[in-house]
Structure 1
């Protein structure tokens, strides 16, 4: 009786779907030629949509709120969208709204917004936030927060001030979804220790791989995710074909395999209401182009090619 092996992908976001489709399209057919059967499993698929429809549903509730968030792209994008939706935009010849309907504030412990982008682009981001009625407070962090009986949130700040917010959004930092991983396989921040070249989790043993934001190799950007998937798929293919050809799971492929090179350049696109700020490999993106590329629909069209596998339609595993 032919033995069936399991190919398990933990996580159903872009990285998980990309690897799963790469396996089905480009790896499993090669294994079948060697009379090897693998059963792919993709647990944990889910999503939580949020957008303008949700804002409309809660519009009366958030007419006079204060939003508190971090100064990274998540905080800037969220407050930019909310500010534009509730307060509108002043246009190019006015610095800020004279009568905003909602008070929206970004609080950041840094001395600038958007750490990936340079100082001038960060200042431009603040200008765009001001135009949609969003204020920015620098060099202040949140010490604690308490949910009050009326549903509001009281926030204690590092400068000694205490603010009360109708809606409080803690949008600083990232907590990796790695609770299921043994502690000795993770770094101090909870990210899985990953071989930055091969994207294997060497400490976890053979044929354990890491893709996406959960790995300590990642800079947590979609451009690094998309460039990592072909490398990881190629190394998975090499490992499994070597084991299949020798009928021994202990067999390792010859050579070094594919290597991943992280893009550490100034690359980020951050829509802010009807405009935006961004750069690609250190070259600035025009404000309108940033909105056109991402802010128009936040690249939701990529969901289709990610789910149906067209993102990895071309075989890059050779």
Structure 2
């Protein structure tokens, strides 16, 4: 029997799904033909479903605005086209990593013990989680659906709402709540304000990765939806009352009592299973910012997407870094020599360079929004066309889950190629 070399991918995120499809389509056939060993791809994820979290701000506010079933996708169904001797999906959560033994520990159920899987190559793509559980899926589908249902129910009758976070999620969520509770503005009219909605940010303008003028444009659109913005303000504490409301204590001591408090500020990396020496001070996997290898974890270990230290937690970084990771992974796999397993491949690695131009599209309700593409202001109609009308459900998740996003192999250059 030939040796089996496992390529293990952790996480059913955009990065994880694209990596699995890409390796199965473009690398595995050549690897199995080139080497005597048999290569096998394992994808490990806590849920059997891919959650299209880009659309979460609309669904989490109201499933009548965007049904939940439109943003969940069956992972196993998408990978049925690959032979079982090439691919295995394991529904489970990673619980440990041993870089010396080169094994991943995972747990498929709370009723089962830990299991181990050896890896020849490893891709950590476990992503990040939000403070509000309805905006991400760190565990299983049912948990996320329950969080969506809970937030939907609370918001449906709310009269006083606080949303914390001046980034894209905060702006999008506040706008969705405003349109749900106060109504949609007309061309020359603004609906009567029926609910008090406050968006709180610690920054001095919204959407800090865009120019202040884009942030001001977002504020104007939010005001038409009945959303007030409070700048340069931090939340010090929140306390639940006996009647189900929340007391929000601000940094200067002021208190607000509201029906619903929505935490839409930042994310946390899903990295609790990673040994602490491999994590930076904020809990992200220490990743070589050029090659995307996790150098301290040994040969053929990569981190892609939100969980990695190079990432700015944007989908743009995922798409821009993906070709780099796949070319370097191919170089590592194709040059592997069992007699010297840790030897680096000859030739030139591909390097990742982050795109620092203004690149973001932010819906502010269903009629449009703000943003920039390649540093140029995105007009309202373009924001509506690209994202605001359906949060990209019609064009975003399909190619990712099916593998069509990675139909073509990334060509390596003459300097990057290995024999």
TM-score tier after normalising by the smaller chain length? over 0.9
TM-score by length of 2: 0.71
Q: Tell me how far 1:174 sits from its aligned partner.
A: 1.5
Aligned to 1:106: 199
Superposed, which structure 2 residues align to 1:240-251 within 5 Å?
240-243=333-336, 248-251=340-343
Q: Is the contact made by 2:196 and 2:226 (CA closer than 8 Å) also made in structure 1? A: yes
After superposition, where does 1:159-198 map in structure 2 within 5 Å? Answer: 159-198=252-291
In structure 2, the partner of 1:310 is 404
The corresponding residue for 2:174 is 79
Give the root-mean-square deviation of aligned CA atoms.
2.0
In structure 1, distance between residues paired with 2:397 and 2:155: 31
TM-score normalised according to structure 1 size: 0.93
Q: 1:261 is paired with a residue of what secondary structure? A: coil
Q: 1:253: which partner in 2? A: 345
Please state if 1:53 is matched with 2:147: no
Distance 2:207 2:287 in 1: 26
| Mapped contact 2:269–2:307 kept (Cα < 8 A) | yes
**Residues in 1 aligned to 2:283 and 2:154: alpha-carbon distance in whole angstroms:** 37
CA contact (8 A) 2:206 2:216 kept: yes
CA 1:241/1:47 → structure 2, altered by over 3 Å: closer, same or farther? closer
Q: Deviations over 1:79-122 (max 9, x none)?
A: 1112112212334545x54x222221101111111011111111
For the residue of structure 2 that corresponds to 1:9, the secondary structure is strand
Q: Secondary structure at the match of 2:267?
A: coil
Say which SS state the counterpart of residue 409 (structure 2) adopts: coil
Unaligned runs of 5+ in 2: 67-151, 413-419
Give 1:19's aligned residue: 19
- Looking at structure 1, the residues matched to 389 and 317 of structure 2 have their Cα atoms a distance apart, in angstroms, of 22
Greater strand content: 2
The structure 1 segments of at least 4 consecutive aligned residues displaced by more than 2 Å after TM superposition are: 45-50, 54-63, 89-94, 246-252
Q: C-alpha distance in 1, partners of 2:268/2:65?
A: 25
Deviation at 1:149, TM superposition (A): 2.0
1:314 Cα deviation after fit? 0.6
Q: Say yes or no: does 1:287 pair with 2:380.
A: yes
Match of 2:297 among 190, 199, 204: 204
Q: For residues 261 and 142 of structure 1, what CA distance do their matches in structure 2 show?
A: 35
SS of the equivalent of 1:42 reads strand
Equivalent position SS for 1:135: strand
Q: Is the 8 A contact 1:193 1:215 kept in 2?
A: yes
Q: Is the 8 A contact 1:128 1:276 kept in 2?
A: yes
* Residues in 1 aligned to 2:187 and 2:42: alpha-carbon distance in whole angstroms: 51
Matched with 2:323 is 230
What is the total number of aligned residue pairs between the two structures?
315
Counterparts of 1:243 and 1:48 in 2: how far apart (Å)? 35
Find out whether 1:122 has 2:215 as its counterpart.
yes
Residue aligned with 1:68, SS: strand
Secondary structure at the counterpart of residue 301 of structure 2: coil
1:75 positional shift: 0.4
Q: CA deviation at 1:252?
A: 2.3
Q: Which stretches in structure 1 are left out of the alignment for 5+ residues?
A: none
Which of 311, 317, 331 matches 1:218? 311
The answer to whether the Cα contact below 8 Å between 1:26 and 1:317 also exists between their aligned partners in 2 is: no
SS in 1 for 2:268: coil
CA–CA separation in structure 2 for the residues paired with 1:22 and 1:90: 44
